[in-house]
Amino acid sequence: MYPIAAVAAILWLGMVGWLLHRLRTKRASTYEQIGRPDPFTLVFGFVLTPQWRKLNEPTIVPLMRVYFVFCLLQFVAWIVVCEVAH
């Protein structure tokens, strides 16, 4: 389970980096308008809230939202399996 979690975390960080890069290069005005957020603020202030529409990224942000829910469900399932095993 740990290798899967490591891959999931690396993919998540890659998506955050990709979104930041796209905002800085292709959507510079949007990036400036939302206050040049750091990765933490970008994820918890925009991607996982209804404000994600302000980012003007119709492909990567919905994908990140679905992926976050998938990873969260995977984490909960892992906890349940660990509890049942004990």
Closest CA to 49 of 27, 64, 70, 71: 64
Closest CA to 40 of 19, 60, 69: 19
Whole-number percent of the chain with pLDDT over 90: 60
Closest CA to 37 of 20, 62, 25: 20
Question: Residue 78's pLDDT band (boundaries 50, 70, 90)?
Answer: confident
The mean pLDDT value for 49-63 works out to 90
Question: Residue 20's pLDDT band (boundaries 50, 70, 90)?
Answer: very high
CA–CA gap between residue 45 and residue 42 (Å, rounded): 5
Residue-level pLDDT at 17:
95
Residue-level pLDDT at 1:
59
- Domain map (residue ranges) of the chain: 2-85
Question: Residue 41's pLDDT band (boundaries 50, 70, 90)?
Answer: very high
